Chains A and B, each alone.
Chain A
Amino acid sequence: MDGYTSSELVSIFAMQGFAGISLFSVLLLMALGLAIIFGQMGVINMAHGEFMAVGAYTTYFMATLTETYFPAFMPYYFVFAIVVAFFVSGILGYLAEFALIRHLYKRPLDTLLATWGLSLIMQQSFRSLFGAREVSPTLPEWLLGSYQPTDMIDIPLNGMFVLGLTAVVTLAVYYLMFKSRWGLRVRATTQNRVMSDAVGINTKKVDRYTFALGCGIAGIAGAAFTTIASTGPTTGTLYIVDTFMVVVFGGAASLFGTIASAFSIAQAQSILEFFISGSMAKVYTLLALVLILMFKPEGLFASKVRR
């Protein structure tokens, strides 16, 4: 740490830490959807990144529409875009489950191949609909700008907004999965499908809505993603491995584990990035994760189950 004064170091940590929090928010939003789909249902959804891209493109589409037809609505469209992104991705997820996933519940490794095929089709659709170059929506005024607690620290507002959004979504997921009747049915179905069927739970319906919910949350992640980076047809692929890593590292069925692992991965990467190159930061972060997973194959916060 030579060459930096202590106050500089504090600012670096604050700034990089906050950059890490933006990454954490998107990773967590992505991972929440995947934790439901992979952690609860056991489906390896390689198209999850593309469902996020659907959310991002929906936001872009809404922004363009608003800009052209109702410029006066610009300050408020983003909130609606989040909701629309949730529903568009969710409905697509519902259809994907109906057409594809439901036939493959007994063959988890095959869901990987089928959803990889789905992701290729979705990528090409983005390219055909929106072009190959990256796009980013015009953000409302109130999301730009930044907050400056000291001279050296500069915290962008969009990051704070995304953080708030993440908190809301996480709480909603927590309530849905662990406090509501519906969540009870989901957990019952995933733990013992036959028994759940026997006690009168419509397990097929539960599966379909669970998958749709996971994809819908990916759509929200996509809307949030547009505030920090631009979206291209292959954006989803870039994030899918990281997201799987978050879910696996945290312990597939544990909500707290997912949060903790998204936070540690994002922070490790973001802070390391300042001191060594970005690519090496990623290498070290992932390497550390693989090593830890070798000692704790079930993830950091796996629920203890007898198997």
Chain B
Amino acid sequence: MSFVYEKIMGGKKGLIGFIILAALILVIFPLFLDSFRLNLVGKYLTYAFAAVSLVLLWGYGGILSLGQGIFFGLGGYAMAMFLKLEASSPENTAIQSTPGIPDFMDWNQLTELPWFWEPFTSFTFTILAILIVPAAFAYLIGSAMFKRRVGGVYFAIITQVIAVILTVLIVGQQGLTGGINGITDLRTLNGWDITSDSAKNIFYFINAALLLMVILASRVVLTSKFGRILLAVRDKEDRVRFSGYDVANFKIFVFCFAAMISAIGGAMFTLQVGFMSPSFVGIVPSIEMVIFAAVGGRMSLIGAVYGTLLINFGKTTFSESFPEMWLFLIGGLFIAVVMLFPNGLAGLWDDYGHHITNKLRFIAKGFSKLVPQSMLRKVEDAR
């Protein structure tokens, strides 16, 4: 039990933070938000998966990936392909010249399902694909780069280029991928209507629960011996290498793990929102994910969730009322985060939070002087 308490919950402080987050997303949001807003929060929480993955990768591993959109997209597209195939049964698509294939393929004069779409008729395969394909892809990229000691800035630029390649490919191959519109018009999951409000609510809770589980899993990884070596690699890579560790393997592992987390987020995004498009794959979403993590605090898994929620709430409210102000604001925020509080919101809390608690404690002490000593003694005795 103490293992769970210390390692996974991170002691008293970590436990309190976790409980507050869980209460916020599992109880408070569903109680106080209407179903439209709740669905929005659900969408934001799917981005939070990517932000959490970046805390692991960037904050703890020191590896800045500008390509988390790749993995988010792979997960999202895998789920979307399954749902699309379900939505394009021969009965539903009877008016097409080739019934039984997705509508955009029909528009692009394809007459049969491409080979890589075939296995996505199976739900089990889809779930496996969501977890394994991004991890395998990350393994490929990671081993090609880290084994050759490509790191830092170069890694960031190359992952960014891969994100561009993937976006251009998806947009260009309209017949196979739905092009710039993406895969839309998704209706059912194993016969269950996913467009209804009740389904969206259920997805919200699954999504929130998954996110909390991912945070716990990440904590297990970070507090293990692996996590400590990862930190050492970030701070003095050469020294760890000279101590006989294969540094590359540690980086590859954390890259794959982060890819898998992002992909789960992508798959949940598709379920929650009902479509997937290349605009969630490229440079801009990938950098935005980094910003979510940076604003929340690159060293805090929970902070990343708050960062994501805050920025997206801000984006929605501001771009509704002051569309031209939003870019100025977010741009200024990027700069402020980097220059003024590099550890984000979580860092602010660490710097000033204890200030507040100290003050509260001081006030409490003052009050205790006002209370007769005899009463206090009674309280002590009762304990």
Residues of chain A whose beta carbon lies under 8 Å from any beta carbon of chain B: 42, 44, 100, 103-104, 107-110, 112-114, 116-121, 123-124, 127-128, 237, 241, 244-245, 248, 277, 279-280, 282-283, 286-287, 289-290, 293-295, 297
Contacts and interface: CB of A to CB of B under 8 A. Distances in A.
Contacts of A42: 153
A190 to B, nearest CB: 15
Contact of B334 (A109, A117, A286): A117
A163 B342 CA distance: 43
Indicate the size class of the contact surface on chain B. Answer: 35 or more
Nearest to B160: A241
Contacts of B332: 117, 121
B324 A114 contact: no
B333 A287 contact: no
Nearest to B174: A279
Given A283-B172, A297-B148, A112 B335 contact: no
B294 interface: yes
B150 interface: yes
B22 to A, nearest CB: 29
Given A120-B330, A124-B331, 5 more contacts: A114-B334, A116-B334, A117-B335, A124-B328, A241-B164
Nearest to A46: B287
B50 interface: no
Contact of A127 (B149, B160, B162, B324): B324
B144 A279 contact: no
Contact of B164 (A113, A277, A286): A286
Given A109-B64, A241-B283, A290 B161 contact: yes
Interface string B245-258: 00000000000000
Contacts of B160: 241, 244
**3 residue pairs, one from A and one from B, having the closest CB atoms:** A117-B334, A279-B172, A120-B331
Nearest to A289: B161
Q: Is the interface of A mostly helix, strand, loop or mixed?
A: helix
Given A112-B64, A248-B154, A294 B335 contact: no
Interface in B107-129: none
A123 B342 CA distance: 24
Nearest to B147: A294
Contact of A294 (B144, B153, B157, B337): B144
Interface string B319-336: 000001001101111110
A283 B168 CA distance: 7
Interface string B275-307: 000000001100100110010000000000000
B151 to A, nearest CB: 9
B290 A283 contact: no
Contact of A109 (B156, B165, B283, B337): B156
B145 A294 contact: yes
Contacts of B327: 120-121, 123-124, 127
A110 B330 CA distance: 16
Contacts of A104: 338-339
A258 B165 CA distance: 21
Contacts of B161: 241, 244-245, 286, 289-290
B73 to A, nearest CB: 15
A279 B180 CA distance: 12
B156 A114 contact: no
Contact of A113 (B283, B328, B334): B334
Contacts of B153: 42, 44, 108-109, 112
B356 interface: no
A118 B287 CA distance: 13
A103 B330 CA distance: 20
A244 B338 CA distance: 22
17 contacts: A44-B153, A109-B64, A109-B156, A112-B153, A114-B339, A117-B331, A117-B338, A121-B331, A128-B324, A244-B160, A244-B161, A279-B168, A279-B169, A279-B172, A282-B165, A289-B161, A290-B161
